[in-house]
Structure 1
Amino acid sequence: MKCAVRREETQCGGLETQCGGGDAVRGVEKQCGGGDTVWGGGDAVRGVGDAVRGGGDAVRGEETRCGGEETQCGGGDAVRGVGDAVRGEETQCRGLSVRGPAMPLRVQLGASVTLPCTVDTPIPLHELEVQWMREDSGSLVHLSLGGESRPESQSPAYSGRAEFFTEEISKGNFSLLLMNVTTEDKGMYKCVVHTEHESSETNVTIDTERLVVTGADVPVFAYAGEDVILNCSVDTHVPLRELEVEWMKTNEEIQVLLFMEGRYRPESQPERFRGRAEFFSEEIPKGNFSMKLRDVKPEDGGEFMCRVHTCAESISLYTYSANATTLLEISRFSTLQWILLITLPIIGLIIIMCIAKLCCKGKCSLLFHSI
């Protein structure tokens, strides 16, 4: 006799799942993550007399994809029938999806970086365990149990340098802050999230970048009309063609010098600095981007900044910069001019006093007569 099978609807990650009928259920059509997947169940339901009995565990622990992550959809006797009707049990696919960054994280040596790791739906803390590990060595970077950090479990290399955002864990944010990044920190990390029923993970890659810019530690003094050198040294492993170096007069927001795409760009200079400000071209391959400023003028005084950018990536998220600032103080008079300015009035005063003394002795007329 014909067996009527009711169409069952369950939920998988918020999407509808339908099990269709007939005399026998040969497949389960499931919508999960936007695609249709059909599993052949063989003769999932076999007729025996007037009873239709589910063949044991008709659908047990099917592996599906929910939101891009592999999960386990709970099994048991998913379809079980007795009598002329097959009753379907409603099941729940919990679908844990852990998200990380789409691209590697580039960070300067000595800086701090946040390694993202989140889930869409917060997880009850009593069943939560989060592990941050090195993919290559398996070293435990940090551990959180029940929403609490366990620093005592950290690898010594990360003790005191890696920490969770504790107040964010209950919101499903398991990101990790890594401080004072070293060359040894470069590589792949994984954030593994465990619950009572399932686990999932995401990978995060760190690329280190060295970019250190140093300049003068004290103000630079110069006299009007002299030449002066403002120091700027760049320590980096980035190729010259991927560096952009500019000297700026910061108090006026004027670009004085520019090095870009492997060469000096004099056309970018404003008229007042054209022909007066220049790099030491032979020193650039050594990382020396010091600027020579000729014939300094009183208006040249102020703050200058040597600003360095990396241009290895077209996306600004992966562009880094560093700078060094130098204060240039200009005196309107040279040392000789100051000496003359001070001594001439004194010499003049002495001459006047001598004349006055001679006049007092009655020799003024004789003096002027001889003149």
Structure 2
Amino acid sequence: MFLASTVSPVICQDLTVNGTVGRNVLLPCSYNESVLERVNVSWTDQDDAAVLNIRGGREDSTFQDQKYKGRVKSFQEEYKKGNFSIKMKDLKVEDAQKYECFIHKIDHRMFIKLTVSEQPEVEEKMISPSDGAAGRNLVHILLLSALCLLLCF
């Protein structure tokens, strides 16, 4: 007896993307083979909240979770190339989680883990003579300047 399976395989990919609080990040999702322009794609977070839906080849924010409203967009001109990546604006620490991009009809799934780091603070520091090499260089310059003044006059 021969058994044949008609279930198509689900293709999964995992990827990690790094972002910074307050900045934008691109969450990639693409499929290498040709897809229909009017394809349906669902972006969800790890709690199954709707990040962004693409229905019939257009963004559909009808069921989009409030925390993503006005912060997520896709690139409609890229759909025909199989690119359903999204840009998330104004990152927050709570955005750090796992996201799923699911391309319907072809059962293609991508899982993107987003890490979000705090924006590094830039410190301004005055150099004093006790600050290691930079301080020693400053002392040397001051001594040479004083010596030059003494010798020149």
Structure 2: stretches of 5+ with no match in the other structure: 143-153
Kindly provide the amino acid, as one letter, of the partner of residue 213 in structure 1: E
Of 70, 73, 77, the residue aligned with 1:167 is 77
* TM-score when normalising by structure 1: 0.34
1:61 aligns with 2:61: no
* Equivalent in the alignment of 1:307: none
* Equivalent in the alignment of 2:148: none
Where do 1:163-242 residues align within 5 Å? 163-195=73-105, 198-214=106-122, 231=124
- How far apart, in 2, do the equivalents of 1:265 and 1:121 lie? 59
Give the structure with the higher percent strand.
1
Highest relative contact order (Cα 8 Å, sep 6+), 1 or 2? Answer: 2
Kindly provide the amino acid, as one letter, of the partner of residue 154 in structure 1: Q
Contact 1:98–1:119 (CA under 8 A) maintained in structure 2 = no
- How far apart, in 2, do the equivalents of 1:114 and 1:193 lie? 17
- How far apart, in 2, do the equivalents of 1:164 and 1:185 lie? 17
Q: 1:119 to 1:99 in 2, by over 3 A?
A: farther
Structure 1 residue 203, shift from structure 2 partner: 0.5
- How far apart, in 1, do the equivalents of 2:136 and 2:87 lie? 46
Aligned partner of residue 94 in structure 2, secondary structure: helix
Q: 1:122 to 1:99 in 2, by over 3 A?
A: farther
- How far apart, in 2, do the equivalents of 1:201 and 1:192 lie? 5
Q: 1:175 to 1:99 in 2, by over 3 A?
A: farther
- Aligned-pair identity (%): 20
Structure 1 residue 97, shift from structure 2 partner: 4.3
* TM-score when normalising by structure 2: 0.76
Structure 1 residue 99, shift from structure 2 partner: 4.9
Aligned residues: 138
Structure 1 residue 100, shift from structure 2 partner: 5.4
* Equivalent in the alignment of 2:138: 276
Contact 1:165–1:174 (CA under 8 A) maintained in structure 2 = yes
For 1:177-227, what per-residue CA distance to the aligned partner results, in whole angstroms no more than 9, with x for missing partners? 0010001101100111101xx412110011111123346xxxxxxxxxxxx
Structure 1: stretches of 5+ with no match in the other structure: 1-43, 45-57, 64-69, 72-95, 216-230, 233-246, 248-255, 257-263, 278-293, 296-371
Structure 1 residue 275, shift from structure 2 partner: 3.9
For the aligned residues, what is the CA RMSD? 2.9
Kindly provide the amino acid, as one letter, of the partner of residue 110 in structure 1: G
